[in-house]
Amino acid sequence: MADPATSTSGKGGVSGIREDLFDATFLRRIEHLALLARRMASSGQRAARRSKKIGGGIEFADHRDYAPGDDLRHLDWKVYGRTERMLLRQYEEEEDLSVYFLLDRSPSMAMAPPGELSLFDRALQITAALGYIALSNLDRVALAPMTDGKARPERPVRGRAQLFRILRVLSSLEPGGQTAIRDSIRDFCRYKPRRGLVVLISDLYDPDGLGDGLRELAARGYEPMVVQLCDERIFQASVFGDLTLVDVETGERQEIWLTPEVVATYREVWDELSAQVESAAREVGARALRVDLALPFDEVVMKVFRSGGFLG
Amino acid sequence: MIGTFDTLQALFPWAAGALGVLTLLYLLEPRRRQVAVPFGALWRKVLERAEARRIGRRWRRFFSWLFLAVCISALLAAVGEEPLGLRALRERQQPPPLHTVLLVDVSATMATLDGDRDGALGPRQRLDEARRRLRAVVEDALPRERFLVVAAAVAPRTQAPWSEEKRAVLAAIDGLEATDAGLDLERALAAAVDAVQDRSTPRVVVVTDGGPSLHPVARALDAIRGVPVRWLIVGPAALGETPEEAASERLVDNAAVERVGVRSSLIDPGRGVVSARVRNDRGQATRLRVLLSAARDGRAPEDFARPEAVVAEQVVEVPPRSTVAVAFADVTLAPGRFAVQVRPAADADFRDLAPFDDWGFGVAARRRKVGVLLVGKGNLFLEAALLAHDGLDVRRVSPQDYRPAAFPRDKRLLHGVDVAILDQVEAEAPQDTPVWRFDLRPHTAAAPGEEAPRSAGELVIGEEDHPAVRALSLHDANFDQVRGLTLPTGAHPLLKERGGAVLAYARDDGVRRLDFGIDLLETDLGGRYFMPLLVGNAVEWLAGEEAAIVSPLEVGRPWAIGLPVGGQRWTWFEPGLPPRQAHASDDALLASSEAQGIHVWTSDSGLELARPTRLADGERPGRVGKRGPAWTPHPTAARDDTPRAPWPAWTLLVAFAAAALLLEWGLYQRRRTV
C-alpha cells in the first residue's frame, strides 16, 4: 500500500498537484483519517459495504410474491408447504460501491480574501480526503465537477494508488460558470453512472433550490449525501453604508445601505435556506451536513463519518 | 444679512452650478462602493424583507444629499459674508461708506400750502417739496452711502434706521407726515449729530422751511460740532437760495415785522394807534412799504391780504440791519384784528427772501381803566383834564392823608393805582409806581440857588418825539414861575428854556417818572386845549405803552392763555386750519402752534379770546443761512467703524460648515472601515 505522505515528489511536490492544498501534511492527515475509518469499521460500525441491488448473490434478502414467468428455482417450497403461498426467495447482489463527488465549482465557492482558503479550496480538500478513504476501502471513486448545469462524471478509479490521479484532477479544477444544482444533477444522471453514493459538496446558493435534484437522485437509485459549505465571515461584514452588491456569478447589482440589522436579516434568510436543504435531504432519506469554512477539513471528514451514511 | 444676500445673489450662478454638480455626482454615484457577493438572489430577498432599499437607499441618500447641500450653502454664505468673503474683498476695494442723516422738519409749518415756483403745479405742501428734495438726495447717493431718516418736530424721532437700501429709505421719506407740533431745531440737530459723528464720512442734510424753532437757530448751530451740514430750504424761504448764497454767511435780503401793538386812545377808546417794528436785514438802507390791514374775522395772512382789508400804508426808509418803529395813528379799532405787512417799495431793488416773517399781527384789547392817584390841594385845570378821559379812574388824596411811608407795609393803599400824580406835594413818591410830579419848590438835594424859582425864558419842547408830549406845542404858554431841573442821567428833557435849563423831563429807569418844575397855578397851561392831550399822553406813557396791548404769543413755544372763567369747552380756531377742540386746564388754555396769525378760542357760552402771534426773536432767515462747515462728498480721511456683531454670521456659518463636513467625512470613513 502506497503511503500518500511519502509518495509525493518531496519538496517540490508532485507535478500537477496544488501544493497549497495537498501538501505532505495534508496527505499524512488523510492517511490518519483512513486508519481511523478502518478502526471504526472493525468496531462494528461498518461491515462490508454492499449494494442494495437484489440480484444473484448468495445472501438471502427478502421474499416476494410469485409472478408468472419467475424462475421456479427461486420458489421457497418450504413456505409453500407450510402456508401454500407461493413466495419467491430474493438474494442481495454483492458488488463494489461507487462513490461520486459532485463538486460545485461555481465562482461563489471561490470568494475569499487574498491568502485565505475559499470554500472551493476547502471542498477540494474534503473531496480528496473522502476520496482517499473510499479508495482505501476499495470503493470506486469518481469526480463530477458541476457548474453551469453540467456535471459530467469522470471515469471511476479504484485503489489507493489512484489518489494522485484524483488530486491532479482536483488541482486542475478552476471556478467558473454559474450555480445550477438541479440541472447539474440531471446532467449527472444523464450519463447513467452506476448506482452508488453521491456526495454533493456545495454552498448550495441555487435560486431553484435543492429538492428537485435530491429527489431525482433518489428516484434513480443513488444515495445522496449533502455537504453544505458556508463562510461565517459573511455574517461579520466589515463594510457598511451605501453599497452596491454585485453577484459574482450573474453580475446582478443590488443597491443597499448595509447596516448590522440588514446583515442580521441576511443571516435569517441564509438559515432558512439551510433549513430548506435539510428538509429536502430528509425527504429523500439523505444526510445533510452544514460545514463552516473555519472548521479544519479533517474534522469535517470526521463529522461526515459520525453522521453515518458514508462508510456505513 | 441683507448684504450677505446681495452678495449671494451675485454668487447665485456659481451656487446653482455647484449644487447641480453635486446632484449629478450623486446620480452618478461615484463614491458608492461595490461589493461582490456570492448569492445575489439571497440579498434580493433580504432587501425585500427588510425594506432596506426604501429606508436605506432612498431616504438616507436623500438626507445625505440634503446634508451636503446645506454644507455647500453654508460655505457659500460664508464666502459671501464679511470680512473674509467676497463681500469683504469687494468692500476693501471701495472707499468706506458714507453716513448721511436726513433730518426732516415735520413741524406744523411744513403742512403749509405753497405755490410752486412757476405756479404750474398749483399749491402743495412744503413737505411734498421736502420729499422731492430728499428723493433727489437719495437717488444721487454715492455707492454704499447709508441713510438715517430723522423726523424733527418738538422731539426728533427715527423714521428709518441706517440703511443702504434706497427703496427702504424712499419708503420712509414717503411716510413722513407733518405734525401739529413745533420744531426744536437745536434738539433735532444734536440728535442727528450724535447719530452720525462717530461714523465714517458723516454729514447731515437738513430739510426745513426755515420756520420758527423753539430755540434760537444760533444755538441750534452750536449743536453741529463740526459735522458737515447741508441745508435744503423748502417753501418761500427757499426761493432765493443759490449755491453762492448757501455758501456765504452774509445776511440775506429780508424785511420783517417784528412786533405789532394795538393801543386804544384814552380820549377815544374806539380809535387808537397800531404800532409796529419793522426790520431790515439787508446790508443797506431800504425803502419799505408797511401795510396795515384790518379784518373782523381775520386769522391767517391770506385773510388780511385782500386789498379791501388794507386800511393804511406807509413807506419808511429803514437803515441797514436796523429796526424802526412805525405807528398808524387814529385807527378805527372796531375790526379788532389787525395785521401789518412789510413789502419792498416799488423802487427798491430788493428781493425779500423770507416772506414768512413779513407779517405781524395785533388784536385790539378792550381797554381797562387806568387807576390814577391824585395827591394835591386840588387843581381845577388838572382835575378837568383828568375828567376828560373816560378811561381814568381817579382817586384823590389830600397831602395830609398821603403817607408814603406806609406803602411798603400796606400794599392795599396802592391797589389799583397805575399812576400817581403829586401836585406840589413835599412827601416822597411811591417807590414802584409811575409818578408825575408837579413841583415848583427846589429839590432838597439841589445846591442853594440852583433850582430856585424864577421867571421863565423862551420855552422849547426838548423831546418832541417823546410819547408824553407827542403832537403838543408848549411854545406859546406863559409861565410866571419855573424851576430849573438838574437833568438826571438817561432822562429825556421835555420842556426847556431856549439855551437854558430843563423845566420838565421824563425818565425811565425801571419805573417811569415825569418831573415838571412848574406849578399849574403859575401858568396858563391848564386852561389851554392841549392840557387834556398832555394828561392823556403823559398818563398813557406812565401807565406803560404795553398796558393796553394784548401780548402776542411766540410761535413754537408752549402757550398757557389765562381764562376769564373755567369749566367750559373751548374751540380753537388756528390760522389756516379747521377748528378743533382746545386743551384747557382749570384756568388756562394749553396750546402750541407754528401757525402765524391770530389764534381764536371760543367757549360754549360765547366768550372769545384772540391772541396774535409773533416769531421768535432769533428767527431770522439770514441767520438760518449761516451754514456749518462746507460739505465735502469725498473726504480723503474716513474710517468705517460700523458697529459689528461680536460673532459675525460668517464665523457661525464657517463653524457650522466645518463641523458638518467633519461629521460627513467621519460617517463616510466609518462606512468604509467598520
Q: What is the CATH number of the domain that holds B280?
A: 2.60.40.10
Asked if residue A254 is part of any domain, the answer here is no
For chain B of 674 residues, list the mean pLDDT of each consecutive stretch of 10: 54 71 66 77 81 57 75 72 56 73 87 60 76 88 86 85 89 88 80 84 84 56 71 65 42 78 76 88 85 91 89 90 87 90 80 76 80 88 86 86 74 77 86 87 63 69 73 73 84 81 86 88 80 87 67 78 79 86 81 84 86 74 40 36 56 75 64 38
Provide the shortest C-alpha distance from residue A1 to chain B (in Å): 42
Q: Output the CA torsion sign for B615, B618, B620, B626.
A: negative
Cβ distance A202 to A181 under 8 Å? yes
Asked if residue A126 is part of any domain, the answer here is yes
Residue in chain A lying closest to B46 (CA): A266
Asked if the model's pLDDT at residue A14 lies above 70, the reply is: no
By the CB < 8 Å criterion, does B40 face chain A? yes
Three cell numbers, residue A183: 440541472
User: Do residues B445 and B388 both lie within one domain?
Assistant: yes
Which residue range(s) make up the domain with B324? 255-363
Enumerate the residues of chain A whose CB falls inside 8 A of the CB of residue B29: 244
In the Cβ-directed half-sphere of B340, how many Cα atoms lie within 13 Å?
A: 33
pLDDT, averaged across chain A: 81
Structural domain count, chain A: 2
Three cell numbers, residue A28: 499524512
User: Do residues B418 and B340 both lie within one domain?
Assistant: no
Q: What is the pLDDT of residue B410?
A: 66
By the CB < 8 Å criterion, does B36 face chain A? yes
- Rounded CA separation B445/B451 (Å): 10
User: Do residues B17 and B117 both lie within one domain?
Assistant: no
What separation in angstroms does the CA of B621 have from each of B326, B357, B625? 22, 9, 6
- Rounded CA separation B309/B294 (Å): 5
Calculate mean pLDDT across residues A55-68.
Answer: 73
Q: Which of B29, B35, B670 sits opposite A245 (nearest CB)?
A: B35
Asked if residue A259 is part of any domain, the answer here is no
Provide the shortest C-alpha distance from residue B658 to chain A (in Å): 22
User: Do residues A88 and A180 both lie within one domain?
Assistant: no
Q: Which of B33, B39, B56 sits opposite A108 (nearest CB)?
A: B39
Q: Which of B36, B57, B674 sits opposite A256 (nearest CB)?
A: B57
User: Do residues A181 and A132 both lie within one domain?
Assistant: yes
Enumerate the residues of chain A whose CB falls inside 8 A of the CB of residue B64: 242
Q: Are the beta carbons of B40 and A252 separated by less than 8 Å? A: yes
Q: What is the pLDDT of residue A188?
A: 92
Asked if residue B658 is part of any domain, the answer here is yes
Residue A91 confidence class, pLDDT cut points 50, 70, 90: confident
Q: Are the beta carbons of A248 and B49 separated by less than 8 Å? A: no
Domain boundary pick from B313, B343, B363: B363
More confident residue, A42 or B501: B501
Work out the angle between the directed axes of helices A297-307 and A119-136 (0-180°, nearest 10): 60
Output the DSSP codes for A248-272: TTT--EEEEEE-HHHHHHHHHHHHH
Q: Are the beta carbons of B46 and A266 separated by less than 8 Å? A: yes
Provide the shortest C-alpha distance from residue A234 to chain B (in Å): 9
By the CB < 8 Å criterion, does B37 face chain A? yes
Domain boundary pick from B493, B520, B548: B548
Q: Are the beta carbons of B32 and A242 separated by less than 8 Å? A: yes
Q: What is the CATH number of the domain that holds B193?
A: 3.40.50.410
Cβ distance B56 to A259 under 8 Å? yes
Q: What is the CATH number of the domain that holds A172?
A: 3.40.50.410
Q: Are the beta carbons of B32 and A255 separated by less than 8 Å? A: yes
Centre a 10 Å sphere on the Cβ of residue B397 and count the other Cβ atoms it contains.
16
Q: Are the beta carbons of A258 and B56 separated by less than 8 Å? A: yes
Residue in chain A lying closest to B56 (CA): A257
The H or E element spanning position B203 is: strand B202-208
Three cell numbers, residue B293: 390791514
Q: Which of B40, B45, B671 sits opposite A242 (nearest CB)?
A: B671
By the CB < 8 Å criterion, does B25 face chain A? no
User: Do residues B537 and B399 both lie within one domain?
Assistant: yes
Q: Which of A243, A254, A268 sits opposite B40 (nearest CB)?
A: A254
Provide the shortest C-alpha distance from residue A126 to chain B (in Å): 21
Cβ distance A182 to A205 under 8 Å? no
- Rounded CA separation A312/B251 (Å): 136
User: Do residues B229 and B341 both lie within one domain?
Assistant: no
Q: Are the beta carbons of B61 and A257 separated by less than 8 Å? A: yes
User: Do residues B320 and B415 both lie within one domain?
Assistant: no
Cβ distance B174 to B145 under 8 Å? no
Q: Which of B35, B46, B64 sits opposite A243 (nearest CB)?
A: B35
Cβ distance B462 to B505 under 8 Å? yes
By the CB < 8 Å criterion, does B60 face chain A? yes
What residues contact residue B28 under an 8 Å CB cut-off, 6+ apart?
A: none
By the CB < 8 Å criterion, does B666 face chain A? no
Q: Are the beta carbons of B672 and A239 separated by less than 8 Å? A: yes
Residue A9 confidence class, pLDDT cut points 50, 70, 90: very low
Three cell numbers, residue B110: 411744513
By the CB < 8 Å criterion, does B668 face chain A? yes
Q: What is the pLDDT of residue B673?
A: 34
Q: What is the pLDDT of residue B6?
A: 57
- Rounded CA separation B269/B534 (Å): 17
User: Do residues A79 and A156 both lie within one domain?
Assistant: no
Centre a 10 Å sphere on the Cβ of residue B556 and count the other Cβ atoms it contains.
27
User: Do residues A78 and A128 both lie within one domain?
Assistant: no
Centre a 10 Å sphere on the Cβ of residue B161 and count the other Cβ atoms it contains.
12
Asked if residue B376 is part of any domain, the answer here is yes
Starting at the edge strand that comes first in sequence, how are the strands of the sheet with B608-614 ordered?
Answer: B553-554, B608-614, B598-603, B570-573, B580-581
Asked if residue A275 is part of any domain, the answer here is no
Residue in chain A lying closest to B672 (CA): A239
Q: What is the pLDDT of residue B58?
A: 58
Cβ distance A274 to A283 under 8 Å? no
Q: What is the pLDDT of residue A170?
A: 92
- Rounded CA separation B7/B4 (Å): 5
Q: Which of B43, B670, B673 sits opposite A245 (nearest CB)?
A: B43
Residue in chain A lying closest to B34 (CA): A244
By the CB < 8 Å criterion, does A203 face chain B? yes
Best interface-test mutation with B: which of A235, A250, A266 has the largest number of B CBs within 10 A? A266
Q: What is the pLDDT of residue B171?
A: 93
In the Cβ-directed half-sphere of B357, how many Cα atoms lie within 13 Å?
A: 31
Residue in chain A lying closest to B37 (CA): A247
User: Do residues B51 and B105 both lie within one domain?
Assistant: no
Provide the shortest C-alpha distance from residue A178 to chain B (in Å): 10
CA angle B260, B266, B272 (to 5 degrees): 35
By the CB < 8 Å criterion, does B411 face chain A? no
- Rounded CA separation B363/B135 (Å): 42
By the CB < 8 Å criterion, does B672 face chain A? yes
More confident residue, A3 or A34: A34
Enumerate the residues of chain A whose CB falls inside 8 A of the CB of residue B31: 242
By the CB < 8 Å criterion, does B57 face chain A? yes
User: Do residues A165 and A134 both lie within one domain?
Assistant: yes
Residue in chain B lying closest to A118 (CA): B38
Asked if the model's pLDDT at residue A43 lies above 70, the reply is: no
Residue in chain A lying closest to B59 (CA): A257
Q: What is the pLDDT of residue B313?
A: 93
Asked if residue A170 is part of any domain, the answer here is yes
More confident residue, B139 or A4: B139
User: Do residues B269 and B415 both lie within one domain?
Assistant: no
Enumerate the residues of chain A whose CB falls inside 8 A of the CB of residue B53: 255-256
- Rounded CA separation B528/A125 (Å): 165
Asked if residue A181 is part of any domain, the answer here is yes
User: Do residues A20 and A154 both lie within one domain?
Assistant: yes
Which residue range(s) make up the domain with A32? 10-45+97-232+281-307
User: Do residues A199 and A299 both lie within one domain?
Assistant: yes
User: Do residues A75 and A18 both lie within one domain?
Assistant: no
User: Do residues B222 and B84 both lie within one domain?
Assistant: no
Q: Which of A239, A244, A256 sits opposite B56 (nearest CB)?
A: A256
User: Do residues B177 and B242 both lie within one domain?
Assistant: yes
Structural domain count, chain B: 5
Asked if residue B144 is part of any domain, the answer here is yes
Q: Which of B52, B670, B673 sits opposite A262 (nearest CB)?
A: B52
By the CB < 8 Å criterion, does A242 face chain B? yes
Asked if residue B631 is part of any domain, the answer here is no
Enumerate the residues of chain A whose CB falls inside 8 A of the CB of residue B68: none
By the CB < 8 Å criterion, does B41 face chain A? yes
Three cell numbers, residue B556: 413754537
User: Do residues B171 and B292 both lie within one domain?
Assistant: no
Domain boundary pick from B363, B379, B405: B363
User: Do residues A81 and A189 both lie within one domain?
Assistant: no
Note the pLDDT tens digit of each residue in A290-306.
Answer: 888 888 888 888 888 77
Q: What is the pLDDT of residue B341?
A: 93
User: Do residues A79 and A130 both lie within one domain?
Assistant: no
Q: What is the pLDDT of residue A28?
A: 85
Q: What is the CATH number of the domain that holds B497?
A: 3.40.50.880
Q: Are the beta carbons of B56 and A207 separated by less than 8 Å? A: no
Q: Are the beta carbons of A238 and B674 separated by less than 8 Å? A: yes
Asked if residue B591 is part of any domain, the answer here is yes
By the CB < 8 Å criterion, does B116 face chain A? no
Q: Are the beta carbons of B33 and A108 separated by less than 8 Å? A: no
Q: What is the pLDDT of residue A29?
A: 85
Calculate mean pLDDT across residues A153-173.
Answer: 90
Q: Are the beta carbons of A111 and B43 separated by less than 8 Å? A: no
User: Do residues B114 and B237 both lie within one domain?
Assistant: yes
Note the pLDDT tens digit of each residue in A213-247.
Answer: 999 998 988 889 999 999 888 777 667 777 888 88
CA angle B233, B236, B238 (to 5 degrees): 30
The H or E element spanning position B667 is: helix B649-673
User: Do residues A116 and A212 both lie within one domain?
Assistant: yes
Q: What is the pLDDT of residue B312?
A: 93
Q: What is the pLDDT of residue A31?
A: 84
User: Do residues A150 and A297 both lie within one domain?
Assistant: yes
Is the N-terminal amide bond of B83 cis, ω within 30° of 0? yes
Question: How many CB pairs below 8 A link A and B?
Answer: 118
Work out the angle between the directed axes of helices A260-283 and B40-50 (0-180°, nearest 10): 120
Enumerate the residues of chain A whose CB falls inside 8 A of the CB of residue B668: 241
Q: Are the beta carbons of A256 and B52 separated by less than 8 Å? A: yes
Give which of B470, B463, B434 is closest to B327, Cα–Cα: B470
Q: What is the pLDDT of residue A139?
A: 84
